[in-house]
Amino acid sequence: MNAVTTSETSSGAEQFLTFVLGGEEYGVTILQVQGIQGWDRVTPIPNTPDYILGVINLRGAIVPIVDLRRRFGMPAAEFGPTTVVIVVKVVNERGERTLGLVVDAVSEVCSVGAEARQPAPDFGSGIKTDFVKGLATVENRMVILLDIDRLVSEGLLGSLSTH
């Protein structure tokens, strides 16, 4: 596939915020991003899956923080100076929610046209790709586009109430 620079993308271009997670680059629709903030202490919530790190106070609202590394089954990493929390708004059948995603580092905002996108490949049953919306090529790099709405409805938060 040929490289398509961001400037050449035409209609159907969507802007994504890309971030790094375990050496891979992921992207989320910029429209869902509420903000980016540095990693800070969270309040743990008892009896929740390990990828739920806890909750923080985001301008008066209680917002859960999800460790995306653990969520994706990657080995946990030490939180360093580049570790940030991307605050996103997700919409699912239970309404609108705000949550924070802990990632290794943010990289950039890029436009991805429809022609630069590919559907997610099927790796068989071993690897979960449910919340991968597709793959995009940005300046010869591969960016995994996430469907964060799916990410939540896949039971990230939903399953908790069954405790």
Partner 1 sequence: MTLDLTQFHDAFFEESFEALDMMEASLLKLDLGAPDAELINTIFRVAHSIKGGSATFGFSEIASFTHSLETLLDELRANRLQVTQAISDLLLKSVDAMRDMLRAVQSKKPIDSQRVADLQFDTEMILAQRNGAAAQPAPQASAPVTPAQPTAAESANAGSAEAGASPDAAPQATASTPETSERRWKISFRPYPELFARGNDPLRMLRELAELGSLNVEVDLERLPSFDALETQNCYLAWTLELCGAVDESAIRQVFDWAEGDCDLSITLESAEPPAEDLTNYALIAEFDAMQAAGGAPSYAPVAANAAAPAAPPVDTANAAPATNAASAPTAPPADSAANAKDTPAAAPASTQSPARKPEPTVSAEPHPAPERVSKSETAAASGIGDSGSIRVSVEKIDELMNTVGELVITQSMLSQLGRNLEGPASEQFRLGLAELERNMRELQDSVMRVRMLPISFVFSRFPRMVRDLAQRLGKQIEFVMTGEQTELDKTVLEKIGDPLVHLVRNSIDHGIEKPEVRVAKGKSPTGHLRLDACHRGGNICVEVSDDGGGLDPARILAKARARGLVGPNETVTDEQACELIFLPGFSTAETTTDVSGRGVGLDVVRRNVKELGGSIEVRNDPGRGARFIITLPLTLAIVDGQSIAVGQQNYIVPLISIIESLQIKQGSLNRIAGRGEVFAFRGDYVPVIRLHELFNVEPRSRELDEGLIVIVEGDGRRVGLFVDDLLGQQQVVIKSLETNYGHIDGVSGATILGDGSVALILDLPGIIRRAGAGARAN
- Is position 93 an interface residue for partner 1 (rule: CB under 8 A)? no
Amino acid at 39: W
Amino acid at 5: T
- Is position 37 an interface residue for partner 1 (rule: CB under 8 A)? no
- Is position 70 an interface residue for partner 1 (rule: CB under 8 A)? no
- Is position 161 an interface residue for partner 1 (rule: CB under 8 A)? yes
Instruction: Kindly report the number of other CB atoms within 10 A of residue 97's CB atom.
Output: 15
User: Alpha-carbon torsion 48, 52, 56, 59, what sign?
Assistant: negative
- Is position 36 an interface residue for partner 1 (rule: CB under 8 A)? no
Compute the least distance from the CB of residue 108 to partner 1, in Å.
Answer: 27
Token pair recorded at residue 126: 């071993």
Provide the mask over 98-127, with x wherever binding to partner 1 is found by CB under 8 A and - wherever it is not.
xx----------------------------
Residue closer to partner 1 by CB (options 48, 107) is 48
The helix (H) or strand (E) run that includes residue 65 is strand 61-67
Residue at token pair 């469907």: 147
> Among 10, 41, 75, 122, which residue sits at the site for partner 1 (rule: CB under 8 A)?
41
> Given the rule CB under 8 A, which of 12-20, 51-59, 69-77, 118-126 is the region that contacts partner 1?
51-59
Please, which residues bridge with residue 67 across strands? 102
Distances (CA, A) of 126 to 51, 61, 122, 129: 20, 37, 10, 9
Residue closer to partner 1 by CB (options 88, 138) is 88
> How far does Cα 144 stand from its chain's mean position?
10
> Given the rule CB under 8 A, which of 11-19, 59-67, 76-84, 102-110 is the region that contacts partner 1?
59-67
- Is position 55 an interface residue for partner 1 (rule: CB under 8 A)? yes
Distance between CA atoms of 152 and 65, rounded to whole angstroms? 12
Residues forming the site for partner 1 (CB under 8 A): 41-48, 54-57, 59-64, 97-99, 157-158, 160-161, 163
